[in-house]
Structure 1
Amino acid sequence: MESREGKSLSELEEEIFQKFGAFMTGIAKIDELGIAGSKLLSGFQQALEFIRRPPIDMNSKLVEKIIVANETKRVKAYISSGCRKLNNSIQSLTNFHSCTRGLCNHIRKAKEILDELEGLLGDVTSAIQTTDGKLLAFSDLDFDVELNEQATYNDLEEKDALSDSQSPDITHLAMVMAFIYSMVKQDYLMQEKIVSALDLRMSLEELESYCQMWSLRPFINDEVVHGAWEHIH
Structure 2
Amino acid sequence: FLQRPPMVTSSKLIEKIMKNNETRRLKSYMEAGCINIHDAAESTRASKSLIMELERLTDEAALAIETATKFSVQLDKDSSDELQQENETVHFSQEPEVTEYATLIAVVHSMMKQNYVMQEKIVRSLSLKSSSGELETYSLMWSLRPFVEDEIVNRAWKWIY
> What is the TM-score when the length of structure 1 is the normalising length?
0.47
Change (3 A) 1:134 1:206: farther
Report what 1:230 is aligned to.
Answer: 158
Report what 1:120 is aligned to.
Answer: 57
For each residue in 1:200-224, what CA deviation from the matched residue of structure 2 results, as whole angstroms up to 9, or x when unmatched?
1111101100000100111111111
Asked whether the 8 Å contact 2:3–2:35 carries over to 1, the reply is no
Q: 2:36 aligns to what SS in structure 1?
A: helix
Report what 1:212 is aligned to.
Answer: 140
Asked whether the 8 Å contact 1:110–1:188 carries over to 2, the reply is yes
Q: Which amino acid aligns with 1:39?
A: Q
Structure 1 distance, partners of 2:19, 2:151, is 48
Aligned-residue sequence identity (percent) comes to 39
How do 1:134-213 residues align onto structure 2 when only pairs under 5 Å count? 169-213=97-141
Runs of 4 or more consecutive aligned structure 1 residues displaced over 3 Å after TM superposition: 94-98
Change (3 A) 1:131 1:205: same
Asked whether the 8 Å contact 1:38–1:215 carries over to 2, the reply is no
Structure 2 unaligned spans of 5+ = 7-15, 73-92
For each residue in 1:66-123, what CA deviation from the matched residue of structure 2 results, as whole angstroms up to 9, or x when unmatched?
xxxxxxxxxxxx9xxxxx723667xx5x989971110110111110111111111111
Report what 1:130 is aligned to.
Answer: 67
Asked whether the 8 Å contact 1:187–1:220 carries over to 2, the reply is yes
Coordinate RMSD, CA, aligned = 3.3
Report what 1:61 is aligned to.
Answer: none
Q: Which amino acid aligns with 2:126?
A: L
Asked whether the 8 Å contact 1:121–1:177 carries over to 2, the reply is yes
Looking at both structures, which has the greater relative contact order when contacts are Cα pairs under 8 Å and sequence separation is at least 6?
1
Report what 2:19 is aligned to.
Answer: 85
> What is the TM-score when the length of structure 2 is the normalising length?
0.66
Q: 1:39 aligns to what SS in structure 2?
A: coil
